[in-house]
Amino acid sequence: MSKNLWNKVTETIVKAGQMPMPISDTLIELLKIIITEEQAKFLIIFKEPSLNLNQIKEKTDLEESQLEKILNDLMHNGIITGTTSRSTGVKVYRLMGPFPGIFEFTLMRGETTEKEKKLVILFDKLFEEMSQATQKNYDILIPQYKKIIPAIARVVPVEKEIETPKEVVLPFDEISKIVEKYDYIALTHCYCRHEKDLLGDPCKVTDERLNCFLFGKTAQFAIEQNFGKPISKEEAKKIFQKAEDEGLVHKAFHVHLDPQKEEEAICNCCKCCCGIFQMYYRGAMPYHTKTSYLAVVNEEECIGCGTCVEKCPMETISLIDDIAKINNEKCIGCGVCAHHCPQEAIKLEYNKRDVFIPPKKIAVN
């Protein structure tokens, strides 16, 4: 019964997420560290990822005090979130998927106990298993991924490098405009860099760790549950500016991973730590994102210094005859190259598109 229970709850959690993930012994072992057997029995009621309190009560026979405790414990551990709908005033509890979701919340506080050290080893093993599975079934899976894996993030460019026609209205693409929209902003520990720190492979780009942001209702939840601390708009903008100067990529995540909905989080990402970049470079998943820009080189101004080649997180720029050349199919429009070009020979032009980049084929055992 216990084995069947853990299979069921693992399947329920995977279904709650947006990314396909195998039900493996590694994932089950990981979840056993995070949740108790009692909590596992409770979580299998989430046939739908989101339930309000009345719906939960209909599916369980727990007493009021027991229900309150289990919900509070699961929220504190980042297994579910609890936010109040602005339209109905009803509190909705949402079950997190493994990634993105539980991975981030588990490491968001930046804690370094034995629990976190065990978890990062298991997460790393899980991602390696996903890489092996993708590579062994590459020709079958990659076309399927294009259909089933959503663009879970939107790249927000370095704002001062944007060059767009005056008639184009871009109300929320620049970081400062996104920040200004929200009354609640939470600053959190970068979970991806924290994982790398605990694995003994620290970030090669920045020493900063407090540079991930949550907004709106999600920020309120994070502050209430001590996943992050409140921060002013001006303080947030300063951190974003530092991130730009260090060559990090702004990636916006939207509510329910739907770019049509409001922003829920923004991460400042490097290719050596970011979970999404790492899934791509490890050959586990395609890189799939929304972007509104494309980097364009002014060949007359380019001196072939190679700074953009070094800084590009997608490794999409090369020097040909001492001139920077950009592979447009792989450009995510982040503006890192433009921001760091000493000659100001690269600009971002408006080019709204969906970028899908298959991972490289990697030899597997």
The ranges assigned to domains in the chain are 2-98, 144-290, 291-352
The answer to whether residue 337 scores a pLDDT higher than 90 is yes
Picking from 348, 349, 350, 346, the residue whose alpha carbon sits closest to that of residue 300 is: 346
- What's the pTM value of the predicted model, to 2 decimals? 0.90
Residue-level pLDDT at 363: 76
Tell me the three state secondary structure of residue 187.
Answer: strand
Residue of higher predicted confidence among 284 and 158: 284
pLDDT score of 167: 38
Give pLDDT, residue 169: 34
* Per-chain mean pLDDT for the chain: 91
Out of 3.30.70.20, 3.30.1540.10, 3.40.50.150, 1.10.620.20, which CATH number does the structure's domain 291-352 have? 3.30.70.20
Residue of higher predicted confidence among 168 and 316? 316
In this structure, how many other beta carbons lie within 10 angstroms of the beta carbon of residue 128? 14
Share of the chain above pLDDT 90, in %: 80
**In CATH, what number does 2-98 get?**
1.10.10.10
Which residues lie below 8 Å from residue 318, measured CB to CB, with a gap of 6+?
A: 309, 324, 325, 327
Q: How far is Cα 135 from Cα 182, in angstroms, rounded to an integer?
A: 41
Least confident of 36-40, 86-90, 220-224: 86-90
Q: What is the pLDDT of residues 170-192, one digit of tens each?
A: 334 578 889 999 999 999 999 99
Q: What is the pLDDT of residues 78-112, one digit of tens each?
A: 999 999 887 788 899 999 999 989 999 999 999 99
Looking at residue 170, its amino acid is L
Q: Is 44 exposed, middle or buried (0-12, 13-18, 19+ CB in 10 A)?
A: middle
